[in-house]
Homo-oligomer: A and B are copies of this chain.
Amino acid sequence: MSEAGFEITERSRVMRQPIRGAYDEASVFAILDATLIAHVGYVIDGQPFVTPTAFWRDGRKLYWHGAVAARMLNSLADGAPACVTVSLLDGLVLAPSGFKHSINYRSVMAFGRARLISDPEAKRVALDRFIERLYPGRAATLRPATDLELAKTAVIEMRIEEAAAKVRNDGVMAIPEDIGWPAWAGVLPIETRIGRPTADVRLGAVAMGLATPAPYAEGDGLDARLAEAMALEIDRAIESV
C-alpha cells in the first residue's frame, strides 16, 4: 500500500514550496488517520463554502455525515466537486526576522466528487465504521440505530481522485542576515492531547464502572491515538474477512 500514489494533477500539485509535498498513499493516509475534523469545500452558485465536520476514511474513500437538511449535504449530493482538507498545527517557528517566522504542520488536500449514500443498510455499515475507526470494538456494544435515526442521518462518500500531503517539520531557517540578531529564535511545539475524561452520571457509565474506550487515556496525544485506533480497525476488518 505504501508504494501506491495519487496522480499529480494541476489541481493537486503543491505550488508553494513543492519540496514539502507528497502524493503517496502512506503520506496522505497517515495525516488523514491522525485527524478527526475535515474542512469540506463546496460551491453553491459560485460561492465557496467551507464546513468543518468530523470525517472518516475507508481505503481511498472519505465519509462524513450530517442532518439530512444541511446545506452542504444537499449541495454535494449530486456529485458536485469537493475539496476535503485536514490540517494539524505542530509548532510555532520564531525567527529573528518576521519574514522567516513559520509554522510546523501536516496537511492534506483531497479532491473528488461526493455522493449521498441512500441505502439504509449501507448507511448503517458506514456509520458503524465511523464508530469503529474512532473506538475499535465499540460499535457492537452500542444500542443499534433505529430506522428513524438512520433516516434522519445523511452519509456522504467521496472517493479521493487526487490528494496531496504537505508537511513542515523543521527548525528555524537560519539565513546569514539573521544569525546573531538579538531576538529569541526557536520552535514552540504544539501538542493536542486528551484531557481528563468525564463520565456521564445520568446514563449509567459511572454506576456501571465502565472504562473509557481504548486507546484513549488522559494525557495521550490525540493524533497518535486516532492513528492507532484506525490501525486497530483496519486489522479487525482484515481478520474478519
Contact = CB atoms under 8 A, between A and B. Distances in A.
A135 to B, nearest CB: 7
Nearest to A90: B195
A184 B198 contact: no
Interface of A is mostly: mixed
Number of copies: 2
B41 A142 contact: no
Contacts of A49: 11, 41, 83, 109
Nearest to A206: B186
A208 B183 CA distance: 9
A186 B202 contact: no
Given A36-B103, A188-B195, A198-B187, A15 B50 contact: no
Contact of A105 (B16, B50, B52): B52
Contacts of A159: none
A96 B184 contact: no
A48 to B, nearest CB: 4
A185 interface: yes
Given A46-B81, A138-B183, A180-B204, A87 B194 contact: no
